[in-house]
């Protein structure tokens, strides 16, 4: 079978790997000059950086598996740490090296600046969420969910709301409670201790999966066509035409805002969130006590220690930070970090439509019906998760599985 994959982001790459491994002839189209989509390496002032900060969790099993499949060893490329939420103002919750759920219980009970009454109330609430199998009213926001549970104290401010914003790129007031519950189910609520671990990239994003995947696809006969922006796709009962070329079937893995144009579909997300990554370079020996710290001051939300004095400050979701120009935003975060040593360099990467807004009802989202020989892939197509690398990979694999069923492959 001759198959097309349109888009070489993480979803498209995952689909291309699955289809190529099944023995099919695959053409991979990518509008850009490199693979990776919204999670790739970029060059800024001569530095190779990430276009955004993506923190993986041990629960991202499909992402870790496909990395291994294309020759990228997660044990080498990712630094594994027990989950910790640390605020310079004094809050600290760190999971212990204990079997689940004792690791979470221990972390909660030893959290600083939180009284015992709130800890006990939160522990009982979490147990109730487990008993209900993490099911939440579909039209409920995270803020409404926490309000109803009486989660209105310090843990809400220092743990639940920051985790919601980090995982979903959408503030708790607007974020889907059901999708957030799904994230908790597979991480803090998991029976596996390893699922709660933070996996921090030791290398640029391109080296985690996109670049190894391209090498693997090249070695296995995939026809990769960079700098080819697909303009027209049409389907008949038995074929799909991509810019005039005929294929037996196709996976479309483009950004949601491009989907309507290619497939005349209107079910793509209507609301998007902005994300900015502010890079700050200090003297090489400058370091944080933990590689991921929550910022408590205005504008900045999280800071990632990338090593050698380079820090990446992350701002997710719409906010007043968007009103500042790059220089003012970098200065505000420099002041918030309050690190020793002079600021030697700064760089800002902004994406106005970095991800879809994960609003209540998002757990029911679907990209809409597509022709029988076309499957749509992308993080916005995977209703169980917010816009994460794991959602992208799983959606790509699901799209490939649909194509393999269509072709009768038993791979």
pLDDT tens-digit map of 97-140: 899 999 999 999 999 999 999 999 999 999 999 999 999 988 89
Q: What three-state secondary structure class fits 111?
A: coil
List pLDDT tens digits, range 318-327.
888 899 999 9
Closest CA relative to residue 145, chosen from 154, 134, 137: 137
Whole-model pTM over 0.85: yes
Tokens 């974020």 label which residue? 175
List pLDDT tens digits, range 306-320.
999 999 999 988 888
**Res 266 pLDDT > 60:** no
Cβ neighbours of residue 19 under 8 Å, at least 6 residues apart? 3, 5, 26, 251, 400, 403, 404
| Rounded distance between C-alpha atoms, residue 243 and residue 239, angstroms | 13
pLDDT at position 297, please?
Answer: 61
- Which structure tokens are listed for 390? 């794991």
Strands in 310-316's sheet, in edge-to-edge order, are 292-294, 302-307, 310-316, 272-281, 345-356
Largest CA distance in the chain: 67
List pLDDT tens digits, range 38-85.
888 888 898 988 888 888 999 999 999 999 999 999 999 999 999 999
- Which structure tokens are listed for 395? 């959606």
Distances (CA, A) of 310 to 52, 283, 328: 14, 8, 19
Distances (CA, A) of 380 to 5, 223, 356, 391: 17, 26, 7, 8
- Which structure tokens are listed for 403? 């194509």
| Rounded distance between C-alpha atoms, residue 197 and residue 190, angstroms | 11
List pLDDT tens digits, range 154-184.
999 999 998 998 888 888 999 999 999 999 9
pLDDT at position 261, please?
Answer: 80
């Amino acid at each position: 079978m001759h198959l097309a994959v349109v888009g070489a982001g993480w979803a498209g790459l995952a689909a291309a790997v699955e289809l190529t491994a099944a023995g099919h002839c695959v053409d991979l189209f990518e509008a850009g000059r490199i693979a990776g989509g919204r999670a790739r390496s970029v060059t800024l002032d001569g530095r190779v950086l990430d276009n955004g900060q993506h923190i993986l969790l041990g629960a991202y099993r499909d992402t870790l598996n496909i990395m291994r499949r294309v020759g990228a060893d997660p044990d080498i490329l990712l630094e594994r740490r027990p989950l910790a939420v640390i605020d310079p103002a004094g809050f600290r919750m760190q999971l212990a090296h204990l079997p689940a759920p004792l690791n979470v219980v221990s972390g909660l009970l030893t959290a600083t600046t939180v009284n015992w009454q709130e800890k006990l109330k939160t522990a009982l609430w979490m147990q109730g969420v487990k008993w209900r199998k993490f099911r939440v009213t579909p039209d409920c926001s995270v803020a409404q969910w926490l309000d109803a549970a009486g989660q209105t104290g310090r843990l809400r401010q220092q743990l639940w709301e920051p985790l919601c914003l980090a995982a979903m790129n959408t503030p708790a007031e607007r974020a889907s409670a059901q999708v957030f519950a799904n994230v908790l189910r597979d991480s803090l609520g998991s029976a596996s201790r390893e699922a709660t671990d933070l996996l921090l990239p030791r290398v640029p994003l391109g080296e985690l999966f996109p670049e190894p995947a391209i090498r693997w696809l090249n070695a296995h006969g995939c026809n990769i066509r960079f700098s080819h922006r697909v303009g027209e796709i049409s389907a008949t009962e038995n074929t799909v035409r991509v810019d005039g070329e005929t294929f037996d079937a196709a996976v479309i893995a483009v950004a949601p805002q491009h989907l309507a144009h290619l497939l005349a579909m209107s079910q793509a997300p209507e609301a998007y969130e902005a994300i900015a990554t502010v890079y700050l370079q200090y003297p090489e020996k400058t370091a944080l006590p933990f590689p991921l710290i929550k910022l408590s001051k205005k504008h900045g939300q999280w800071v990632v220690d990338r090593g050698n004095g380079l820090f990446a400050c992350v701002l997710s979701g719409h906010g007043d930070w968007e009103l500042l120009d790059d220089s003012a935003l970098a200065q505000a975060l420099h002041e918030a970090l309050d690190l020793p040593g002079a600021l030697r360099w700064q760089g800002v990467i902004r994406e106005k439509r970095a991800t879809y807004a994960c609003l209540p009802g998002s757990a029911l989202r679907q990209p809409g019906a597509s022709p029988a020989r076309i499957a749509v892939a992308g993080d916005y197509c995977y209703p169980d998760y917010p816009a994460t690398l794991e959602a992208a990979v799983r959606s790509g694999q699901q799209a490939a599985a649909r194509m393999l069923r269509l072709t009768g492959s038993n791979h």
